[in-house]
Chain A
Amino acid sequence: MAIECLVLGAGQEVGKSCVVVTFGGGKRVMFDCGMHMGHRDSRRYPDFDRLLADGAADYTAAISCVVITHFHLDHIGALPYFTEVCGYHGPVYMTYPTKALAPLMLEDYRKVMVDHRGEEEQYSYEDILRCMRKVIPLDLKQTIQVDKDLSIRAYYAGHVLGAAMIYAKVGDAAIVYTGDYNMTPDRHLGAAQIDRLKLDLLITESTYAKTVRDSKHAREREFLKAVHKCVSGGGKVLIPAFALGRAQELCILLDDYWERMNLKIPIYFSAGLTIQANMYYKMLIGWTSQKIKNSYTVHNPFDFKHVCHFERSFINNPGPCVLFATPGMISGGFSLEVFKKWAPSEKNLVTLPGYCVAGTIGHKLMSGKPTRIDIDKDTHIDVRCQIHQLSFSPHTDSKGIMDLTEFLSPSHVILVHGEKPQMAFLKERIESELGMQCCYPANNETVSIPTSQNLKINATEKFIVSFCMDETENDPQKQNLNFGGDMPQGCRTEGVAEGVLLMEKSKTPKILREDELLHSLGMETHFVHFEPLHPSSIEVKHTGESAVQQSSLEHLDCE
């Protein structure tokens, strides 16, 4: 038996995450169905055709289910295309927050593509709604039986609201696909959490395969300093961000800072998304960090005191301000519009997320310090503003990846969602330090992972009972269910057991205690003894228990 892992996207790159895992028995799970923000041709979507056997056209028959880890477009962007255009209509799973928030992200992007870039529509708003209606929501830790043999389970991944790591199991074969995750809690989300599971394969993101981050405190201070310096000099701060996730995170940070420093400069949120987003955050508060959950009974942390509503005309207003605008990597839309206006002034500041997909303006700004950016052949922008790169990112760093991998101790590791040189570095570390096999396939490559398979047999009660330790020695309180335990979840070691396996045709093999075997076969013991030929010899050999020895002695007497 083997697990086949086909990487359709995010192989040696970041973007269009999509990994298809085929278990034994034809069970096939697609993890994520993302799009690539940097491409505008067919490369923007995973090459779904590879899922089909020659001549086949039915995706529903080819895939058991699709599981989406979180609402970022590079993980869900191709889903409406896959379900509404390609015609997959099997089950799609994602967590409650992802199901609630994904349509906002998808529609936001669709608008940017169609309305601003004037591109041909890949899917319509109705397609998005139809697609989302097919989605079955997941709660964390729930074991969902997709069908008789395939079960899946979501674990908290941090990263963004509703992000999940997915455990999938068919028979004895089990894997975890991490999606994007964060091993350190941030202001509004907790750290990733997973049980110690017995895994054949771990497929992990590796955005920061080589980076080890310092304390978050310093990075936050740096960001606040840059923003404060800009606004006190009368400048405008543009924070391109998705409506959900980083926007809330930074807003909690800024709102708190404004309060402490008694600043009166307005903080704006573009579009009407903020109210809606906060409404969602209120209902989904159970998915945020423990700290937020605790404070929620008195005050909703998403009711920001210093955030005001933004009108389009404010772009040209004089005076300092802070503006959150979508989309995050200045790939178009409102953030591009504002960037065009504000970039030429050296008083202003643009903060960029820690990671920008190649091909976006955000990426251009980060690589070197360009003074002129060409939008298309007629338009260009003179960039004189300050650029601040946010070095905090909701992704785990390399230490986090190593920690999670070591904790889960899978037989094999596959790296996705990273850059090739860094992935090569991490692969070396995983193989040499953790002694696990590791690879990082490119897009459209298939990796085959051998799995161990357990045989189902029966055991008699006497066998089990005689090798079970005393109950009192197994204190249930000592079970380690979280990070740091030595044993897999809910595991208890019994002693070394000895018995006889009885295999009969057309019956499940059965293990018995030795003394039960003869009875079960309907046979009598045939004693075999070794005796010295000349009784003077002292050495007495016997074959087994004391009872046998006893009888052999009697035998001697008879001689």
Chain B
Amino acid sequence: MKLVSAKLLPSPSLSRAPQAPDANAHVTSQTCLDTGVDGGYYTPASHLLEVEGLRILLDCPIDLSALTAFSAVPLGASSSSGDAEDLIRGVPYYRSPTAVAAAKAGRIDAVLVSSATGLLGLPFLTRLPGFANTKVYVTEVAARMGSLMMRELVEMHREFVRCYGPDRDQSPVWMEGEKLKKLMSVLQKITTEDEENNNLAALVSLYSLDNIEECMQKTQYVKYGEEVCFNGMLMLKASSSGLELGNCVWTIKGPRASMTYLPSSIFVSAHALDFDYSSLKGNDVILFSDFSSLNGMYDDNKKMGEHIVDETDILLASNSVFRDDGMDEDETIKFLCSNDDIAEEIERISFICSCIIDAINSGGSVLIPIGRIGIILLLLEHMSETLHSSNMKSQVPIFMISETAEEIITFTNALPEWLCKSRQEKLFSCEPLFGHVELLKEGKLSLFSHLYSKGLLAAWKEPCIVFCPHWSLRHGPAVHLLHRWRADKRCLLVLEQGVDAELTLKPFMPLAIQVLGCSFLSGIKVGKIDPLLGLLKPKLILFPEGQKSLCPATDKQPWSFLYYSKGKTIEVPNMREEFEVRMTTEVAFGLQPRQLDKTTAVARLKAKLLLSNGQYVLAAAKSELDRSERHLLHWGTVDASCIPSALQEKGIVCSFSADADYSAPSDRERVISITSPGEALVKVTSERTTIYCDDEETAERVYDAFRSICNGI
């Protein structure tokens, strides 16, 4: 990963493209550090932003795809089978191109995190000595979820350490020879867009629980809609993005421009608070960072059958409706926030539920190693309904096996402020926020921290439904359970599309277990991008180069595009040349304006310049304004013909030198000699006036008279 500087200018056809900034101006620049892997849910994209001299990292995820190159911890007898021969047997390393690139940048002033997954790579960075003063901003819920996920990851990783021994200082054995080549080939397969073979550079050893703790201590938790000030200069505000509990869109407001950092968002959610797009209205720049259209929903939709409306239809429909100039804002909102998204999502969930029931009915167990907390909660809720209505004779136990299961389940019933409106209503009518509360109470759902937890053996009954980590199938209880059930064709494995299924399942081959690949709504649907931009009315959009075709620039749009791509820095033109400043009334009253002509006046000003909450304020300085009568700056020419009368008005007796000729061109030097009240000589040319005088009082009076006819301040 390299930080390459390149200047991309807006295309010349755009008439409203702002001017290029001064070379030494406070330029906003943006660098995309990583575009993520799976369209942004587990590994969101990340960026480095420089605003008014401050360096801000946007998200710092971990990329777990490198895990597929490693073999899961061997399990006695079962490990002998399976096509795991060319996988690396050792303590795995992890990729975090973002953390590595940010570390290379040397200094990061602040990190804005938009999701729990955007937090997972941060301890890699904050454990470095140079980042002790880096401040991290993240929503309370994303922070809580993120730290639980990190803890879970460290716990699962321990299995490897127990098996292979702890990391030593030198690089592990597999970093040499044949094994390395294999790793490289796997990595290349995962990250095909990387041209250079520097994947290895982004590989790092996992952080510890202490590192996580340290990272969380740098973190300031925020609520949705809470305005926080960073360094006096920038106002930061998180608004809900709708994708997941606690996920957010950031507004970064500097003294001269406001920017929206827009990661994957969902307009209407079945669990999280809806996308709060209205709070983004009027921001100057949008950094569009929703890569969800790359996660292959197209293909999956076909697989899922006729349930799903074809995305291209929506695109076409939206084009015909919304490209008209008479686009109605209310119509747009109605279109954006229609319940289609939820309906589709619920349809997917119930489809999965029906597959689960089928498997259970045939006597098989179901393994669900999905990492999305929202999906897990929805699945649980639907499952309780489905199980209820399907009249199954014996009760099918549902297990949730994870280090953090209990905490997550408890926690999710205590965050009403972060949930969608329909779930908030549950609070107001005193019902549990999620269906799993009922399942737990009825004893249908049991939570265990490990496979070897005390009660699990007693409660274990097959067929059963198990939710457990990890979707990589290299970590956690999922590995063991898959080994147990892989040869049983009645069983079902629910996997999320987007991970390379072939590579992931390789060590478990041959498989008899049924595999259901499913995908979920992970961001803004293509057809909704344009109407959204129309609603937000930005001046400039930073858009991923790779998705250019999704949102073609047209002449009609009142905004311009800058396209970014991974590893390139683009400079964002200044939105405003000037700064907005507030002046207190106290300062205003102290001004002594001088009228220059009918439309212009000037006043000298001395005040304290404060910077408070992103706003410059001129407040009265403690030391009084220097009220000396003598002006410091004069301009224009002095009309020589006015001089005698001006002097006489002040009671000065004067005479012009012999060659005085008022009508002569004014660039000639005029000499005026003064005899009373003191002796003085005044020489006036077009650009300069000199008062020769030994007596201060007289000089002062002459200057006074002169001032009345010369522009000065």
Contacts and interface: CB of A to CB of B under 8 A. Distances in A.
B621 interface: yes
B611 A280 contact: no
A288 to B, nearest CB: 10
B690 A552 contact: yes
B636 A526 contact: yes
A503 B603 contact: yes
Nearest to B638: A526
B689 to A, nearest CB: 5
A464 interface: yes
B127 interface: no
Interface stretch (B174-182, B218-226, B493-501): B218-226
A514 interface: yes
A511 interface: yes
Given A476-B231, A492-B612, 13 more contacts: A103-B428, A143-B225, A461-B25, A461-B579, A467-B609, A474-B231, A475-B133, A494-B609, A494-B610, A503-B602, A524-B687, A525-B687, A529-B688
A555 B609 contact: no
Interface stretch (B186-194, B376-384, B593-601): B593-601
A2 to B, nearest CB: 13
Interface stretch (A319-327, A362-370, A515-523): A515-523
Contacts of B688: 526-529, 551, 555
A296 interface: yes
Interface stretch (B344-352, B387-395, B406-414): B406-414
Contacts of A374: none
A139 to B, nearest CB: 4
A477 B417 contact: no
B635 A521 contact: yes
Contact of A501 (B133, B602, B635): B602
A282 B588 contact: no
A388 to B, nearest CB: 33
A533 B692 contact: yes
B159 interface: no
Contacts of A532: 692-694
Interface stretch (A8-16, A241-249, A449-457): A449-457
B229 interface: yes
A514 B602 CA distance: 11
A526 B579 contact: no
Interface residues of B, number: 101
A25 interface: no
B257 interface: no
B694 A533 contact: yes
Contacts of B584: 452, 454-455
9 contacts: A297-B410, A461-B25, A491-B613, A492-B610, A502-B602, A521-B596, A528-B634, A530-B691, A543-B631
Given A475-B133, A530-B699, A494 B591 contact: no
B294 interface: no
Contacts of A493: 608, 610-611
Classify the secondary structure of B's interface with A: mixed
Contacts of B710: 526, 528
The 10 A-B residue pairs whose C-beta atoms are closest, nearest first, are A490-B229, A492-B232, A142-B225, A454-B582, A505-B599, A523-B635, A494-B609, A497-B609, A491-B612, A527-B688
Contacts of B410: 296-297
A99 interface: yes
B230 interface: yes
A96 B416 contact: yes
A284 B426 CA distance: 12
A496 B232 contact: no
Interface in A506-559: 510-511, 514, 517-518, 521, 523-534, 537, 539, 541, 543-544, 551-552, 555
Given A477-B133, A496-B621, A527-B688, A286 B415 contact: yes
B27 to A, nearest CB: 11
Of B427, B599, B600, B601, most buried by chain A (CB within 10 Å of CB) is B427
B420 interface: no
A56 interface: no
B637 interface: yes
Given A476-B133, A531-B691, A543 B578 contact: no
Given A458-B580, A505-B600, A533 B585 contact: no
A485 to B, nearest CB: 13
Contacts of B711: 523, 526
Interface residues of A, number: 89
A491 B614 CA distance: 9
A460 interface: yes
Nearest to A281: B414
Contact of A533 (B135, B229, B679): B679
A283 B414 contact: yes
Given A139-B223, A498-B605, A461 B577 contact: yes
B606 interface: yes
B582 A143 contact: no
A500 B223 contact: no
B658 interface: no
Interface in B335-380: none
B135 A477 contact: yes
A496 B622 CA distance: 9
B232 A526 contact: no
Interface of B: 22, 25-26, 53-54, 109-110, 133, 135, 222-233, 235, 237, 255, 406-407, 410, 413-417, 424, 427-428, 430, 432-433, 577-586, 588, 591, 593, 596, 598-614, 616-618, 621, 623, 630-638, 679-681, 687-694, 699, 703, 706, 710-713
A122 interface: no
B580 A501 contact: no
Given A282-B414, A532-B694, A501 B603 contact: yes
A454 B226 contact: no
Contacts of B618: 457, 497, 511
Contacts of A510: 578
A199 to B, nearest CB: 14
A119 B295 CA distance: 65
Contact of B604 (A495, A500, A503): A500
Contacts of B699: 530, 541
A142 B414 contact: no
A132 interface: yes
B414 A285 contact: yes
Contact of B578 (A459, A467, A544): A459
A541 B700 CA distance: 12
A526 B427 CA distance: 74
Nearest to B140: A286
A539 B699 CA distance: 13
B606 A498 contact: yes
Nearest to A451: B585
B428 A461 contact: no
B18 to A, nearest CB: 15
Of B135, B417, B679, B711, most buried by chain A (CB within 10 Å of CB) is B417
A503 B633 contact: no
Contact of B581 (A285, A458, A465): A458
Contact of A297 (B407, B591, B680): B407
Nearest to B604: A500
Nearest to A471: B53
A464 B690 CA distance: 34
Given A476-B133, A498-B606, A490 B232 contact: yes
Contacts of B679: 533
A555 B226 CA distance: 63
A279 interface: yes
A547 to B, nearest CB: 12
A524 B692 contact: no
B694 A500 contact: no
Given A497-B606, A502-B602, A530-B699, A100 B430 contact: yes
Contacts of B25: 461
Contacts of A139: 223-225, 417
Contacts of A543: 630-632
B390 to A, nearest CB: 29
A16 to B, nearest CB: 25
A452 B620 CA distance: 13
